[in-house]
Each structure stands twice: as C-alpha cells, then as structure tokens.
Amino acid sequence: MDKNFPDIGDYLIQKIYEKGVRHVFGVPGDYILNFYSKLEKSQLRIINTCDEQGAGFAADAYARVHGLGVVCVTYNVGGLKVLNPAAGAYAEKSPLLIIAGSPGWQEREKYPLLHHKPKEYDDQYKMFERITVASSDFKDPALAYTEIDRVLDEILRQKRPGYLELPRDIVDLIPNADISCDRQTIPGYDRQMATDAAAKIVAAVNASKQPVIVAGVEIARNNLEAPVLGFAEKTNIPVVSTILGKSAVDEKNPHYLGVYAGIVGDDEIRRYVESADCIILIGVLMTDVNLGANTAVLDRDKMIMLSEEDCIIGRRSCNVPGLALIPEIIRAELTKHDTISAPLPVRNRMPAFSPANKKITTAGVFLALNSYLDEKSVLITEVGDALMMSIDITIKRPGGFMSPAYYSSLGFAVPAAIGVQAASSDSRAVVLTGDGAFQMAGMEISTAGRYGMNPIIIVLNNSGFGTERPMIDGAFNDVATWHYHKIPEIIDNGRGFLIKTENEFVSALKEAYQSDELSVLEVILESDDISPQLRRLCQHFAKGVNKMA
C-alpha cells in the first residue's frame, strides 16, 4: 500500500468536490457513518434532511441547477427510500449520484443475517442497477479509483443517475497504487453522417414557410440555451417549450411564445405549432404529460428531433447525437423567416391583476404569482394543478422553473426548494404545492429552516387531491385537515399566513418577498376550484367519455 494515495472514502470525496459539488444531502445510518465522518471533515457541506426520500429530491433539484447532485444514505432502510427520487431523476435526465452504505464484505461472509437485510445482501444493488446508467459495489476494492471515475463520468455524460454502494469495511482502504484507470471510450459518431444530417436539417428549415422550435429539458441539462436562442434569432423562428422544458430558454426573449402542451396549453400556441410545416424539437422528451397528456397533435413527417442520443428527420433516424449538430447548423447559411403570423407571446396577452376583497381562486393565485415572480425567483411546483396553473406564468430567469412533470411524483417540491437554494445562493425558491402533496414531504420545511434557507411555500388547501376529483371522485381523494400556516410556530422558524381573499394573498406575497424569513402561505380554496388549464384538460377528457357513452 502507498500512503501517498488517499483511501477510498477520501478519494470519492475528492472526486465529488472536483466535479463542483459543494453540498451532500442525506440521512446517516450505521453502515455509512464512517463515510459521514469523513464528509464532515471535508470541504463538502452535509445537509441532513428529515427523511431519505426528501434527501433524494433535494439532491435531484441541486443536480438540475448545479450539474451534479449527491445523496448519501444507509443500507436498504435508507437506500430503498431513495429509489423513487432516483427513478424520477432517471426519467427526467438529472445527473444524480447515489451513495448508499452496506455491510462490509468480511462481515457478510461471517454473518448470514445482519440488520436492514431483506433477503439477499445484494438486493439494494440490483434494484438500483435498473434505474441508473452506471453502478459499482466495489467487489474488487483494488479497482475502487477506476470504478468511482467510471460511474461519475457516465453520470455526467448521460445526465442520469449513477450508484455507488459503499461497504463499510472498504471506506478506509487504500487501493494498490499501480492500478490505472481503464475507462470506456466515450462513444463517437461518424463525422460524414453528422455533416449529411446537418445539411438535411438546414435544407428542410430553409424550405419551410412556417417553422417552429420546440425547446425541451435537455437544453437545460446540456447548457444549450444560448445556441438555441442564437438559432432562433438567426432564422427568426419562434420558440415554444414543452412543460418539462419550461424556462430552458429565456422566457423574456422576443422569440419565445409560451408553452406548447396540446389541449392543456394556450389555444393560439397550440394552433400555431400544430399547423407548422417544420417542427424542430430540440432536447424534447416525448412523454405523455410533457405533451399535454398525449393531446399534442404533431405530424411526424414534419418533425426534426434533436436529442442527446439521436437525430430523427421525419421518420428516419440519422444515427448521430442530434444536440451535437446544433453548432454546425447555426454556422450554415440559414434563411431568415417571416413569422408575422405567429401569435403574440402569452406574457403580452396576460391580463393585469387587480386584487379585490373577494374569495381567492386558482385563477387569482395564477395571476398574482405571474405579477410577483422576479429575476431571483425559482418556481418549483408539484405535479397536478400546481403544475397546470403554472404553464402560462412567465418565468423571469432561465432555469427558473422546476417540476417533475414527467415522472410526476408528489412530494417533490418542498425538498427541491432545499436543493435549489443550496445550489444557487442568489435565488429564492417559491414552492407551489397542494395540501395532499405537502403532507407527503412537507416536514422538510424544518430542514430548510435549520440551514437558514427562506423558501416561500404556497400551500393550495382544497382539502384533498384536486386533480383527481374531476376524473373519479370519492372519499379517497380527501386528506386530513392541517393548519399549514401554523407550521412555522411548530418548527420555531419563519412566518405563516392564512389566506382567504385576493387582497390577503397579494399582501402575504408582498410581505414574504420583503422578508428574509421562511414563509408559509396557506391558501384556502373550494374543493372543486381548478385552474383554467386543468379545466381545459378535463373538458377534453369529458368529450371523449361522452362520445363513448
């Protein structure tokens, strides 16, 4: 052994730090305590959450803002709680590293049963293998450096989660110094095929009369906002985003129209996109929710799809990574299009909000938020009506919107606020959540307070799951009654507001923004009050049901 080399635990910490990570989220446990001790002595800051799922959501949000997030938990009872956040990060392409402790190799041989073991010692490892792009359980500790590098490289290359299972008896080991890193070569692509594909795209764009760019979440994951907007400005092609891609490009840019979400979104934008003769989808995940619950109507023959993995023109795959073609496309001779027929951006058609002393509704929440969000605000929404009502809100900063719009796991938003504020000290997290979602992970509000964070948390209290009621209603959609505005008293941190009128909501928003304290705004809504966006979706579904009746 060579003492000039770091032990495995220190090497992992060193590599995480070199990748730009400054915070690690998690809950300690005995199988990971020796690594936690090293973390505490390192330059990384530990943020202990109330629960492992909250740690996973916080680390996922940190990754979406910062480029890499890390969650660290113990064996099985901690690790399996992180499966859900890891699955969401995989589905939505978030570069998350999961570190989970486990029994040491020697004690596994000695004892057939150790606490936290459900069936086999490798159950946790096998479960994470399914939803990560790279994993290692350090069966050969001599290769630990190589394995750490390999997993981190794949996370950053593929923008998806990776997993390291850390047996507690190897944390302090130093691998053999002569072990060299034998990394896999990053897949390349045929240069001529790429040139041919770019030429075909340029020809299709130049020949089109009414093209449109559809911006997706991979733009944000790959820092491509500037080249995508450069492409739009050079060609004068309007830009829309998908739900998951909201704020991936600057929503104040004059070329940006709003969100395209099929029947759920704005009608003028929907008609424009669906009548386009060239639809350029950049970094779009073709999922149901992302496309307005599968209500998008796009002609495949008119589509150009550029993603991390492929370039598809019409119905033909070019077998090259599409996002890599963007610089070559921009350098080409491109036609400047006439887009007089494009609709005005949604932000220019938004009515001014004049609050009154009348009952607050979802429409009032939506309009007031649109007025109050500023350049420091990052709006984080739960899925459901909180997401639906946010579609047409104008986000004032690129990357200023976050929601698990595809994977759609409730309980994301409050923990995500912790990750966002840790990753970006100049931002203010504004959480929009329903009461049902808040009850799943709202306890993480105490974590935010503990670490001096000041999110503004808006709880839409309609006594249950308001998105499900219009589909199939029953007592199963009701939730227990909580006094959300009193939570700051329980955690002895922040301020609470009980809101029943428009005036009270605007006043509370103003006070929350002016204060540096954590704030909880409990908005009392009628149980059947849903946003205009969700109502459009429900009306669409109702038409289908009536036709079948």
Give the whole-angstrom CA distance, residue 383 versus residue 456: 18
User: pLDDT by residue (tens digit) across 402-420?
Assistant: 999 988 899 999 999 999 9
pLDDT confidence band for 477 (50 / 70 / 90): confident
The least confident of 14-23, 132-141, 351-360, 525-534 is: 525-534
What is the pLDDT, as a whole number, of residue 184? 41
Q: What tens digit of pLDDT does each residue of 487-541 get?
A: 999 999 999 999 999 999 999 999 999 999 999 999 999 988 888 788 777 666 5
pLDDT in tens, 126-165: 999 999 999 999 998 989 999 999 999 999 999 999 999 9
Whole-angstrom Cα distance, residue 146 to residue 148? 6
* pLDDT recorded at residue 3: 55
pLDDT band at 275 (very low <50, low <70, confident <90, very high): very high
Q: Is the pLDDT of residue 326 over 90?
A: yes
543: confidence class by pLDDT, cuts 50, 70, 90: low
Over the stretch 406-459, which tens digit does the pLDDT of each residue have? 888 999 999 999 999 999 989 999 999 999 999 999 999 999 999 999 999 999
Q: Mind listing the domains of the chain with CATH numbers?
A: 8-167 (3.40.50.970), 191-337 (3.40.50.1220), 350-537 (3.40.50.970)
* Residue 240 · residue 212 · CB < 8 Å: yes
**Percentage of the residues of the chain whose pLDDT score is greater than 70:** 94
Phi, then psi, of 456 in degrees rounded to 5: -100, 115
C-alpha to C-alpha distance for 395 and 426, rounded to whole angstroms = 16
533 and 392 Cβ atoms separated by less than 8 Å: yes
Model pTM score: 0.91
Residue 547 is predicted with a pLDDT of 47
For residue 331, give the DSSP letter: H
Q: What is the pLDDT of residue 325?
A: 93
pLDDT value of residue 179:
42
**Within 13 Å of residue 260, how many CA atoms lie on the same side as its CB?**
29
Measure the CA–CA gap between 473 and 387, rounded to whole angstroms.
20
Q: List the structure tokens of 84.
A: 């859900």
> Is pLDDT above 70 for 463?
yes
Can you say whether the dihedral through the CA atoms of 80, 82, 88, 89 is positive or negative? negative
Say what angle helices 362-372 and 502-514 make with each other, to 10 degrees.
30
- Residue 387's pLDDT band (boundaries 50, 70, 90)? very high
Give yes or no for residue 345 having a pLDDT over 50.
Answer: yes
User: In this predicted structure, what is the pLDDT of residue 185?
Assistant: 41
pLDDT tens digits, 38-73: 999 999 999 999 999 999 999 999 999 999 999 999
How far apart CA 139 and CA 136 sit, in angstroms, is 8
Rounded (5°) CA angle 131-133-136: 95
Given this model, what pLDDT does residue 540 score? Answer: 65
Please answer whether residues 462 and 525 qualify as being in contact, where contact means their C-beta atoms are separated by less than 8 angstroms.
yes
| Exposure b/e, 297-320, CB count within 10 A at least 16 = b | ebeeebbbbbbbeebbbeeeebeb
Gap between the Cα atoms of 366 and 371, Å rounded: 9
What are phi and psi for residue 69, nearest 5 degrees? -125, 155
Alpha-carbon gap, residue 177 to 138, rounded angstroms: 16
pLDDT band of residue 542 (cuts 50, 70, 90) is low
- At 271, give phi and psi (nearest 5°): -65, -40
pLDDT in tens, 175-227: 864 444 444 444 556 788 889 999 999 999 999 999 999 999 999 999 999 99
In 3-state terms, what secondary structure has residue 321?
coil
Give the per-residue pLDDT at 182: 41
In contact, 114 and 103? CB cutoff 8 Å: yes
Residue 546 predicted with pLDDT over 90: no
Helix, strand, or coil (residue 494): coil
Per DSSP bridges, beta strands 456-461 and 428-434 are parallel
